[in-house]
Amino acid sequence: MEQTEFNRDLFDFLKNSPTPYHAVEQVAQRLDAAGFEALDEGDAWNLTPGGRYYVIRNGSSIVAFVQGPMDERGMRMVGAHTDS
C-alpha cells in the first residue's frame, strides 16, 4: 500500500470513528474483510489452529486473535485503546 493510500485509509477510519463504538464497528468490518470470524464470549468456542477470530464486548471493546500453536516462547500480544 503506498503512503497516500495508507493515509487516505487512516483518515477515512478516523472520520468514521468519532466514538469507541464507531471505532469498534470499523475494526470489525476490517476484520470481517480479512477473514476473521466473530465469536460470542458467552458461547463455547471451537477454535482451529490458524483460525482468525474476534470478540466484541459492550460494543465498545474488541479483541482479535489468531489461534496459533503454543510453544516455549508463549504467545505474542498487541494492545491498543480508543478514547472519546
Q: Which residues partner with 52 through β-bridges?
A: 66
Each residue of 52-69: pLDDT tens digit? 999 999 999 999 998 877
Does 19 or 70 have the greater pLDDT score? Answer: 19
Residue with cell 470478540: 55
Tell me if residue 54 falls in helix, strand or coil: strand
Supply 23's cell numbers: 471505532
φ/ψ of residue 38, rounded to 5: -75, 135
- Interval 8-40: pLDDT, tens: 999 999 999 999 999 999 999 999 999 999 999
Contact indicator for 24, 56 with CB cutoff of 8 Å: yes
